[in-house]
Chains A and B, each alone.
Chain A
Amino acid sequence: MKCAYNEDALRRLEVIKEAKRWAKSTLISRDQFAAIGEEYKVSLYHPNLMIRLLLFMATALGLSGVTGLFGTILFSEASRIFICLACVLYGAGTIVALEKMFLKNNHFKSGVTEAILYYASGFLIGGIAGLADFDLVALTTWTCIVVFSFAAVRYLDLLSTAAAIFSFAYALFYHLYEVGGIAQRLIPFVFIIVFSSSFLMCQKLRKKKNLLVWTNNLIVAECLSLLLAYCGGNYFVVRELSLNLLGLQIEEGGDIPFAYLFYTLTVLIPWLYLYFGIKKRDIILIRVSLFVFAFSAFTFKYYFSLGAPEIALTLTGIIVFVIALMLMNYLKKVRKGFTRENLLSEKWAAANVQAFVVSQTLGGNQASATQDMPGGGKFGGGGSTEDF
């Protein structure tokens, strides 16, 4: 399937974005950036993130009005099948409107396009699933896969990409679950095999020149494949899903089947990701590995708590802090291609964003509603006052 945009225009836009990052990191001058912008002039309408969000919300609100209008005028007393068919038609019609009205006018991920796309996807999926009265899980799931994949491939949409992958993972789980018996026991291994190969496949595809426009979609797919493969081997995920969905009973002192295998995988996979991330200098693998390290730590803490969470927290904090300090020291120079210096600024990592994160995750946010309670105060752990 082809993407809905002019590939040359997309490439120009990408060049300008890249040059903008260089300019922000003072690798090139403002004048040079302006010259590059002139050379790679492009007429796509692709506003900044906040304007996109604004347009997205306004479009979504407006579209709900359109639906309400149609709904009340035409279908107040129609049958279910008729309404579902109308939904499918309406969804398809919206996609056509998206292409004719907005893509024709050079909109590229402008906020308006996303709102219309998700809206249309919702109607297509809802309409088809509704035809079977929402009873056929397989039909709903596969409709999701098809519709989201279409949205991902044709409109390069990243959220749709993620949705398509999750729908696929769900379908895989669901079908194996339906087969029952030994197939249910194999679900974790199937997940590991399928998603690690999909990771490798995405990496290969990302190197192909003619698939360049889908680079970001493939990166999303890579990250999610890594995470899903990890989930297949994670003890916590396997145990809780086995208990809750597969009806596994664990006797006193017993454990899930192959428990030691899953313990091993929980420890091993993060190290594996990190090792290959460093070896292949793949920042995606490194980032995902940091994330799954945290999840592995959580898994072990959950089942083998030594009590005293505050000591565990404090110690983990010290260890993480010291490791980071040591790495910073080690990477003063470029070693094995890694450096601690900031080469290219990331859009999402602006100081203002960080400040907001700090204010929301660290203290200083509890309203002190104690002004009119002299001598009060809600400080202190339970029972701590009794010692004195």
Chain B
Amino acid sequence: MIKNLPEELFAKGLITKDQFAKIEPIVSGDVISVFYELRTLLYLGVMLFTAGAGILIYKNIGELGHIVAIISLTAIMIVCFWHVYKKGPAYSNEVVKGPTPFFDYILLLAGLLFVSIQGYLQFQYAILDNNLATSTLVTAALFFYLAYRYDHVGILSLGITSFVSFWGISVSPVKWYSGNFFEQSNLHVIAILLAIVLSSAATFLHQRGIKRHFTFTYFNFSLLMFFCAAVAGLFIDESIYGIYLLLIYAGCAFSYYAARSSQSFLFLLYAFLAAYIATTFFLAVTLHVFSNEYLWFWYSILSCGGLVYFIIKFKNHFRQSS
């Protein structure tokens, strides 16, 4: 922050007097926002509480304390849903601001408690045929409904992850170390199909003007899943790797288009990594170029240097217009 900047801009006539009066206390630190700090605390609270409650439900089953715990959690969930239902704003295709700053977190709490309790009931009384997959689908459906009804991107992303987990895929780049994305055979094919379905659905909704601010999240998960699956496919189905190569290039074209239209160059980052691996794989398999180590060094220098040159040369192409 630059001290005296508001004064300087005001003196130059670039901001008005009202704006100066608003901005000056913020820049000088006379008013300090703890917006993000409070939200982090709320989020931490929800996270700790639902994590604890999730374990609580399955411990000491059959004891009195256990039943009390279930009943009180259900009561909390009902209160939360009731609050959301009463206070919730009307549906709109655009961004909807919650009525209170903590509305989003009550909604999140309600949804997560529902998952815990529903999982418990099913486990205990086999309501849903004791089929875990069905319950995942129910969870996903609830999350999608809540996300669209009350405009909550966080719950949307939970909905997407539980939807794809119904098909056996775990989208968790954070937990990449804990093992393979695709432990079962053919999962990578399912992942590619799912990614195409999800991103097509997102594109369709986007064009219809329904919740355009959700599109990024759909694309993000789809592209991550798509590229990971396609790169895995290169190595798994080596005999038909050409198909995956073409898929990756098509994905890159789509990423480029998505990055340009959504002004988020994160997608380009995914595309670059996938394309680089794929192209290197292609050159190694077909041309055997890397039997000679000099060629390998020249390849990395020229390809990367070329890319850097390209990005800098066409820098206006990669600029956020906002």
Instruction: Please list the residues of chain A having a beta carbon within 8 angstroms of any beta carbon in chain B.
Output: 11, 14-15, 18-20, 22, 24, 27-28, 32, 35-36, 39, 45, 47-48, 50-51, 53-55, 57-59, 61-62, 64-66, 68-69, 72, 110, 112, 212, 215, 281, 283, 286-287, 290, 309-325, 327-328, 331, 334, 337-344, 346, 349, 351-352, 354-356, 358-371, 374-381, 384, 387-388
The chain B residue with its CB closest to the CB of A363 is B115
Q: Which residues of B contact A57 (CB under 8 A)?
A: 269, 272-273
The reply to whether A287 and B37 form a contact with Cβ atoms under 8 Å apart is yes
B251-271 toward A: CB 8 Å interface, digit per residue (1/0)?
A: 000000000000011101100
Closest 3 CB pairs of A and B: A317-B49, A321-B45, A313-B52
18 contacts between A and B (CB under 8 A): A11-B2, A51-B268, A57-B269, A58-B272, A72-B297, A314-B48, A315-B52, A337-B29, A338-B31, A339-B33, A342-B36, A349-B36, A351-B153, A355-B153, A359-B171, A377-B130, A384-B61, A387-B62
The chain A residue with its CB closest to the CB of B143 is A364
The reply to whether B132 and A368 form a contact with Cβ atoms under 8 Å apart is yes
Q: Which of A311, A360, A365 has the most CB of B within 10 A?
A: A365
Minimum CB–CB distance from A258 to chain B (whole Å) comes to 32
Taken together as a complex, chains A and B put the C-alpha atoms of A190 and B301 apart, in Å, by 48
**Known interface pairs A51-B318, A54-B268, A66-B301. Does A317 touch B308 (Cβ–Cβ under 8 Å)?**
no
Contact pick for B38, options A309, A324, A384, CB 8 Å? A324
The reply to whether B49 and A318 form a contact with Cβ atoms under 8 Å apart is yes
Q: Which B residues between 172 and 222 are near A, CB-CB below 8 angstroms?
A: 172-175, 183-184, 213, 216-217, 220
| Beyond known contacts A65-B304, A364-B143: 18 more, CB 8 A cutoff | A45-B315, A47-B319, A48-B319, A51-B265, A65-B300, A317-B48, A324-B41, A328-B42, A337-B31, A339-B33, A344-B26, A359-B154, A359-B171, A368-B136, A368-B165, A368-B168, A370-B132, A375-B130
The reply to whether B37 and A286 form a contact with Cβ atoms under 8 Å apart is yes
The reply to whether B158 and A363 form a contact with Cβ atoms under 8 Å apart is yes
Q: Which residues of B contact A343 (CB under 8 A)?
A: 26, 31, 33, 35
**Known interface pairs A344-B26, A355-B154, A381-B59. Does A365 touch B161 (Cβ–Cβ under 8 Å)?**
yes
Q: Which residues of A contact B38 (CB under 8 A)?
A: 324, 327-328, 331, 340
Q: Which residues of B contact A50 (CB under 8 A)?
A: 264-266, 268-269
Q: Which residues of B contact A45 (CB under 8 A)?
A: 312, 315
Q: Which residues of B contact A349 (CB under 8 A)?
A: 36
Minimum CB–CB distance from B298 to chain A (whole Å) comes to 7
Taken together as a complex, chains A and B put the C-alpha atoms of A11 and B9 apart, in Å, by 13
Q: Which of B58, B264, B273 has the most CB of A within 10 A?
A: B58
Minimum CB–CB distance from B202 to chain A (whole Å) comes to 13
Q: Which residues of B contact A61 (CB under 8 A)?
A: 276, 300, 304
Q: Which residues of B contact A59 (CB under 8 A)?
A: 304, 308
Q: Which B residues between 269 and 322 are near A, CB-CB below 8 angstroms?
A: 269, 272-273, 276, 293-294, 296-301, 303-305, 307-308, 311-312, 315, 318-320, 322
Number of A-B residue pairs at CB separation under 8 A: 311
Which of B14-22, B83-91, B229-237, B239-247 makes up part of the contact surface?
B14-22
Q: Tell whether B70 is near chain A: CB-to-CB under 8 Å.
A: no
Minimum CB–CB distance from A349 to chain B (whole Å) comes to 6
Taken together as a complex, chains A and B put the C-alpha atoms of A334 and B31 apart, in Å, by 8
The reply to whether A15 and B15 form a contact with Cβ atoms under 8 Å apart is no
Q: Tell whether B250 is near chain A: CB-to-CB under 8 Å.
A: no
The reply to whether B56 and A311 form a contact with Cβ atoms under 8 Å apart is yes
Q: Tell whether B53 is near chain A: CB-to-CB under 8 Å.
A: yes
Taken together as a complex, chains A and B put the C-alpha atoms of A362 and B154 apart, in Å, by 10
Minimum CB–CB distance from A88 to chain B (whole Å) comes to 22
The reply to whether A320 and B41 form a contact with Cβ atoms under 8 Å apart is yes
Contact pick for B133, options A15, A27, A321, A370, CB 8 Å? A370
The reply to whether A62 and B160 form a contact with Cβ atoms under 8 Å apart is no
Taken together as a complex, chains A and B put the C-alpha atoms of A318 and B53 apart, in Å, by 11
Contact pick for A32, options B15, B162, B174, B300, CB 8 Å? B15
Q: Tell whether B68 is near chain A: CB-to-CB under 8 Å.
A: no
The reply to whether B31 and A339 form a contact with Cβ atoms under 8 Å apart is yes
Q: Which residues of A contact B171 (CB under 8 A)?
A: 359, 365
Q: Which residues of A contact B56 (CB under 8 A)?
A: 310-311, 314
The chain A residue with its CB closest to the CB of B100 is A328
The reply to whether B119 and A358 form a contact with Cβ atoms under 8 Å apart is no
Q: Which B residues between 44 and 70 are near A, CB-CB below 8 angstroms?
A: 44-56, 58-59, 61-62
Taken together as a complex, chains A and B put the C-alpha atoms of A57 and B275 apart, in Å, by 13
Q: Tell whether B169 is near chain A: CB-to-CB under 8 Å.
A: yes
Taken together as a complex, chains A and B put the C-alpha atoms of A235 and B9 apart, in Å, by 50
Taken together as a complex, chains A and B put the C-alpha atoms of A95 and B62 apart, in Å, by 69
Q: Which of B29, B160, B171, B304 has the most CB of A within 10 A?
A: B304
Q: Tell whether B148 is near chain A: CB-to-CB under 8 Å.
A: no
Minimum CB–CB distance from B93 to chain A (whole Å) comes to 16
Taken together as a complex, chains A and B put the C-alpha atoms of A45 and B183 apart, in Å, by 44
The reply to whether A62 and B34 form a contact with Cβ atoms under 8 Å apart is no
The reply to whether B162 and A364 form a contact with Cβ atoms under 8 Å apart is yes
The chain B residue with its CB closest to the CB of A379 is B123
The chain B residue with its CB closest to the CB of A383 is B61
Taken together as a complex, chains A and B put the C-alpha atoms of A352 and B269 apart, in Å, by 16
Contact pick for B34, options A27, A48, A338, CB 8 Å? A338
Minimum CB–CB distance from B102 to chain A (whole Å) comes to 6
Q: Which residues of B contact A352 (CB under 8 A)?
A: 153, 216-217, 220, 264
Q: Which residues of A contact B266 (CB under 8 A)?
A: 50
Minimum CB–CB distance from A388 to chain B (whole Å) comes to 7
The chain B residue with its CB closest to the CB of A14 is B2
Q: Which B residues between 100 and 142 are near A, CB-CB below 8 angstroms?
A: 101-102, 105, 108, 112, 115, 119, 123, 130-133, 136, 139
Minimum CB–CB distance from A230 to chain B (whole Å) comes to 18
Taken together as a complex, chains A and B put the C-alpha atoms of A281 and B31 apart, in Å, by 8
The reply to whether B293 and A68 form a contact with Cβ atoms under 8 Å apart is yes
Minimum CB–CB distance from B190 to chain A (whole Å) comes to 11
**Known interface pairs A50-B265, A338-B32, A363-B112. Does A368 touch B157 (Cβ–Cβ under 8 Å)?**
no
The reply to whether B217 and A355 form a contact with Cβ atoms under 8 Å apart is yes
**Known interface pairs A57-B272, A69-B297. Does A388 touch B62 (Cβ–Cβ under 8 Å)?**
yes
Q: Tell whether B156 is near chain A: CB-to-CB under 8 Å.
A: yes
**Known interface pairs A55-B311, A379-B132. Does A314 touch B53 (Cβ–Cβ under 8 Å)?**
yes
